[in-house]
Amino acid sequence: MRKITIAKGDGIGPEIMDATLKVLKAAGAPLEYEEIKIGKEVYLDGNSSGISTESWDTIRRNKIFLKAPITTPQGGGYKSLNVTTRKSLNLFANVRPVKSYYPYVDTKHHNMDVVIVRENEEDLYAGIEHRQTDEVEQCLKLITRPGCEKICKYAFEYARVNGRKKVTCFSKDNIMKQTDGLFRKVFNEVAAEYPDIESDHMIIDIASAKLANYPEDFDVIVTANLYGDIISDIAAEIAGSVGLCGSSNIGEQCSMFEAIHGSAPDIAGKKIANPSGLLNGAVLMLRHLGEQEVANKIENAWLKTLEDKIHTADIYKEGSSVKKVNTQEFADAVIERLGQKPSELNPVENVSSETIQFLKYERKTHKKELKGVDVFIHDSRTNAVEFGDELKKASTGDLELILVTNRGVKVWPEGFSETFCTDHWRCRFVSKDEKTISNQEVIELLKSVGEHGFDAIKTENLYYFDGERGFSLGQGQ
């Protein structure tokens, strides 16, 4: 018996968890359960993270966590427990298989079978945000080499182990050449290690449009956190199955499994919710544990239930469904069919028990040379020429002002009079003759900028790594 942690969550959570556990028990899943309380009750008890220290200990001890949806109370101060759990436990890969079950679940896309592998820990979800001036707020987009290597490797390993043919990377590297550029570069490096799997790259905007219209063209998709969050909901919605999809959050030590939907407060307590999302989350968990036989048994019984047109209210259709059932009745219908296989929908068979190998990341260091600094200044004048000419006087012997941009667009020494300027100026000072400078010279410059009456709100050092520029040029530079 394998002990796992469960949390019944909020809203419809307890109803769908009870139904899921009933199916797991009837199928003979070799599991024992240790229950923890998380979510609304814990938040409102004054714990702004929605989880107690003891519950963290339980999750970390058992390593496998089956979680029903929770309600994050509205208003300030409450942190998303999902985001905290993913990041605290290093659950770096969010895997969401999305499939259509036409004609038993209504969708325009009859042959869709996509797996979205979303990076789960970084990107804009690092949540590092600051207000810097009267007018400007900033959110840092952090993309790291270990993060990219781990998720790209996971996507190709997933494809290989699950007999998938192609991995497509979605990014916006035509605009974000440093951050998304790194994601794509690492994707290419990892793809070269898997010559048996086709790989390609698409720009996220057209890729999302194509995914929404031609989902059958995609197999495995790997992408950064925010893009993955958005496209996985689009994919689930067009498959007609937001209430049906499960998701895994995979880490090196711990993993968490859940439904993709929320706590559905509008139908909580009515006992009509569809338990399929959490049940499919539990199937993913069993597969992760190598329990392919029980997982197949449950998944085939579930497909047969759909095929027999026994449907909960969310997918029930007058005329095509045969019976409308509530949560428990649906679970009972799945249990009755344990051991049976669907005849129209593809039964699940021969799923590989091979475990997915994680990347062993090795840190490399590079030759780093400081060649200048971007000083960000809060200044409410609107005339860029006046601003730049005045700031140039703050240049020191070592660092000279060469460029000012506003919202990334060059406005000094020459810009367009049409460009709107906020009170947030990025001012690029570089060393004379590309000489390598020290942090002390940056400090001297900042002192001079202050003495000339400017309000420096932050700096970014301009480095070369192994002789390659490590920063973007200004638009128009």
Give the residues lining the site for ligand NAD (CB under 6 A).
12, 16, 69-72, 82, 243, 258, 261-267, 273-274, 277, 314
Min separation Cβ 274 and ligand NAD, Å: 4
Nearer to ligand NAD, 69 or 97 (CB): 69
Q: Which long-range contacts (CB under 8 A, 24 or more apart) does 353-360 make?
A: 353/290, 353/292, 354/161, 355/161, 355/290, 356/154, 356/157, 356/158, 356/161, 356/250, 357/157, 358/150, 358/153, 358/154, 358/252, 359/149, 359/150, 359/153, 359/154
In sequence order, the 6+-apart residues with CB closer than 8 A to the CB of 68 are 6, 7, 8, 9, 10, 12, 13, 14, 16, 17, 258, 259, 263, 278
Nearer to ligand NAD, 94 or 179 (CB): 94
Min separation Cβ 255 and ligand NAD, Å: 15
Which amino acid type is present at position 17?
A: M
User: Contact 31/4 with Cβ under 8 angstroms?
Assistant: yes
The rounded radius of gyration (Å) of the Cα atoms in the chain is: 26
Nearer to ligand NAD, 62 or 82 (CB): 82
In sequence order, the 6+-apart residues with CB closer than 8 A to the CB of 447 are none
Nearer to ligand NAD, 71 or 223 (CB): 71
Nearer to ligand NAD, 21 or 411 (CB): 21
For the chain, how many helices (H) and strands (E)? Answer: 13, 20
Main-chain dihedrals φ then ψ at residue 420, nearest 5 degrees: -80, 135
Min separation Cβ 11 and ligand NAD, Å: 6
Min separation Cβ 245 and ligand NAD, Å: 10
Nearer to ligand NAD, 86 or 304 (CB): 86
Residue closest to ligand NAD when measured from CB atoms: 262
d(CA 10, CA 33) in angstroms, rounded, equals: 18
Min separation Cβ 180 and ligand NAD, Å: 26
Nearer to ligand NAD, 265 or 450 (CB): 265
d(CA 95, CA 86) in angstroms, rounded, equals: 12
d(CA 81, CA 253) in angstroms, rounded, equals: 19
